[in-house]
Structure 1
Amino acid sequence: MSTPQWVDDWLTAGRFAKYVKAAGGDTELALALYEWNSEIAAAFLRDLGHLEVAVRNAYDRALLTHPDIHDGEWLTAPSCTLLFPPHVAKDKNGNPKDKNATPRANVKDARRHSGYDLGVVPRGKAVAELMFGFWSYLTDDLHEKSLWVPALHAAYVPGADRARLHAALSALRDFRNRVAHHESVFDRQPENHRRYIVFVARNLSPDLHQHLTRHSRLPAVLAARPRPPR
């Protein structure tokens, strides 16, 4: 079944090809799969948005208790230098790279862009400027002794597994990036990523977990995959 020209003009043949393949060559079903992918993305962003706000606020509270910060504030340059000291390691090409340079720069940019450095906005504005990629990096192996043990573990329920949380948050970050760039997610194990959201939420707060699962549209959306007519 040939693809209508207006669809190729809209999506391009290359972009639409994976949907046509998944639909067994049925372009009408392929269009339904494309719409289904958009529904998954929208429902996912809703749940992840709630989770991201919870993560950043829980991490912010935990980092404020870190014993090494200056004057009770982790956002300042002196505190960030202590929390994210230079850590040089070779990258995949064998070149030396400071693995903590990015989080230090992230915080610096957040302070500047929010107006926090000028003292004209609440500190929460600077915290909200920090992206999900920043927060997900804080549970990396590199930060187990420097962040997790002295402070960050307090963001989660007792006994939370840092390594499992990091794996879930990293997967969610990559999945979210695909959604942000309007790429396909229906073929990227969306049910597994729904479970990652549930897992992180349950470890953050049983009440948050209950709220998210009660109101999430993801189970219904994922169950509504378009099927070929019989």
Structure 2
Amino acid sequence: MTGAVEEPGKKLGTAPVGPPPDFVHGRGQEPAEAPQGNLSASHVIGNNPTVGIIQGFIPTDLTVQTMLTGCLSDPRLQRYAAAAKGDGVAREDTYLWNCDLAEAFHLPLHMAEVSCRNTIHSALMFKNMKWYQDDIFQKLLDPARRADLQRAIDDENSQHGANFDAHHLVSALTFGFWEHMTTKRFERWLFPRGIQKNFKHAPWQAKLEDLRIRIEGVRRWRNRVVHHNALFDKHPTAKYQDALDLISWTSSDLAQWVSTRCKVNQVINNRPRKS
């Protein structure tokens, strides 16, 4: 991700394994062992010796391919045809592998978003326990975000009544709203002493714009994942590292823990190829 600042000599929450070196250009990582991990049922090696195993995958049969084409559409699956042809497999196999990859991204993206928005919220709470009513804060918001906030307040008030407080807004507001908190307009009001007061593990030289760029990149990738788009040829290893890095700015321990549980690199290394 461009614009991010790395702390010299220290890499927190680094992904423990990497893809084949030709998968993400310029990374130069060696392929890791590919334990099966939590792959979908159709992609786990079986004991049937008559089934043609392709690097840990059971190829889909014609019945499944026809079903997927009928339900998901030929144009959608055709997006995967060129990559599948190069690997000597059916496009449906490459599509299902991409589904496994999307599933594997759930944990790091979940932790990146939730830890990040909670950290920003802590900065708001330090300013005002009812920050959402603060006149200065309201004036700093752009009109669209001010409308988003009011809708969230109304929705949460209707659900929680007298028990409503600021914490109910954290998950009610979009990741884009929290990214807005890291734009230049909020710097003097919310982060007058720099982001390190709240993002305690951010590199000492990191600026608010560096944080915003990281959040934007993770948010855009999250949107790509949840909208079921192709991921496999969009540098997923780099995107995984971006998520880990954002987590590490809040907690290096959490980033390390996520990296030991996440299956992204295992799924990448299980790319279906004809042997």
CA distance 1:47–1:4, change in 2 (3 Å): closer
Partner of 1:112: 154
Give the partner amino acid of 1:207.
D
CA contact (8 A) 2:100 2:267 kept: yes
Task: Output aligned runs, 1:92-103, within 5 Å.
Answer: 100-103=142-145
Identity of aligned residues (%): 25
Partner of 1:51: 112
Partner of 1:18: 79
**Runs (5+) with no aligned partner, structure 1:** 87-98
User: What secondary structure, in the 3-state scheme, does the structure 2 residue paired with 1:119 have?
Assistant: helix
CA contact (8 A) 1:62 1:151 kept: no
Give the partner amino acid of 1:10.
C
Partner of 1:216: 262
CA distance in 1, matches of 2:225, 2:210: 23
Give the partner amino acid of 1:112.
D
CA contact (8 A) 2:179 2:216 kept: yes
Partner of 2:92: 31
User: What secondary structure, in the 3-state scheme, does the structure 2 residue paired with 1:65 have?
Assistant: helix
TM-score (norm 1): 0.79
Give the deviation of 1:4 after TM superposition. Answer: 5.1
Deviations 1:204-224 (A, max 9, x none): 112222221122122212222
CA contact (8 A) 1:84 1:103 kept: no
Give the partner amino acid of 2:116.
V
Q: How many residues align?
A: 209
Give the partner amino acid of 2:226.
A
Q: Which segment is superposed worse, 19-28 or 34-43?
A: 19-28
TM-score (norm 2): 0.67
CA contact (8 A) 1:60 1:127 kept: yes
CA contact (8 A) 1:29 1:226 kept: no
**Runs (5+) with no aligned partner, structure 2:** 1-61
Q: Which segment is superposed worse, 162-171 or 34-43?
A: 162-171
CA contact (8 A) 2:80 2:94 kept: yes
Instruction: Determine if the alignment matches structure 1 residue 6 to structure 2 residue 64.
Output: no
CA distance in 2, matches of 1:163, 1:123: 26
Partner of 2:43: none
CA distance in 2, matches of 1:45, 1:129: 19
Partner of 2:184: 141
Partner of 1:83: 137
Give the partner amino acid of 1:85.
K
CA distance in 2, matches of 1:60, 1:30: 44
Give the deviation of 1:151 after TM superposition. Answer: 7.4
Structure with larger RCO (C-alpha < 8 A, sep 6+): 2
Out of 54, 67, 73, the residue aligned to residue 130 of structure 2 is 73
Give the deviation of 1:170 after TM superposition. Answer: 0.6
Give the partner amino acid of 1:130.
L
Instruction: Determine if the alignment matches structure 1 residue 184 to structure 2 residue 245.
Output: no
CA distance 1:27–1:14, change in 2 (3 Å): farther
